[in-house]
Amino acid sequence: MASCGKSADTEQVMALDDDSDDEAKAEEDSLTKKVMEYEESTLKEISNLTDEVEKTSDKIDEITDSSLFENYAEYLLQVIIKLDNIDPKNNRKIREARKDAIVFAQGTLQKLDKKMSQ
């Protein structure tokens, strides 16, 4: 009879372990989903900012008014600050996309500076 009691106890412990494993798996899945959602939304934000810089870059050759130069320069600096404030959270894709976008915005700012000095 004593062995039957141990068997029931063992089954209860195993059932608790299974519940614990299920909870851990659900928590891990939830965390993975949050990480993926953060990555997706952050990459989209970086892409949108890059698109705006691209539009600005296309307009630079057409600028003749010096006040517009200052407006565009200020705008590009604001974009760089926004990009710099994005936390990559140890995500390689976000870090690389952010770096590329910052380099592109800085290059556009340099292009604007050259145009202003002509």
For the chain, what is the domain count? 1
Structural domain that includes position 26: 2-117
Please give the DSSP secondary-structure letter assigned to residue 35.
H
Q: Identify the band that residue 1 occupies on the pLDDT scale cut at 50, 70 and 90.
A: very low
CATH number of the domain bearing residue 89: 1.20.58.120
60-98 tens-digit pLDDT: 888 888 888 999 999 999 999 999 999 999 999 999 999
Q: Identify the band that residue 49 occupies on the pLDDT scale cut at 50, 70 and 90.
A: very high
Radius of gyration of the chain (CA): 27
Dihedral angle computed from the Cα positions of residues 53, 72, 76 and 117, in that order, rounded to the nearest 10 degrees? 110
Residue with tokens 């900012």: 49
Angle at CA of residue 14, ends 29 and 23, nearest 5°: 20
2-17 tens-digit pLDDT: 444 456 666 655 555 5
Asked if residue 115 has pLDDT above 80, the reply is: yes
pTM: 0.76
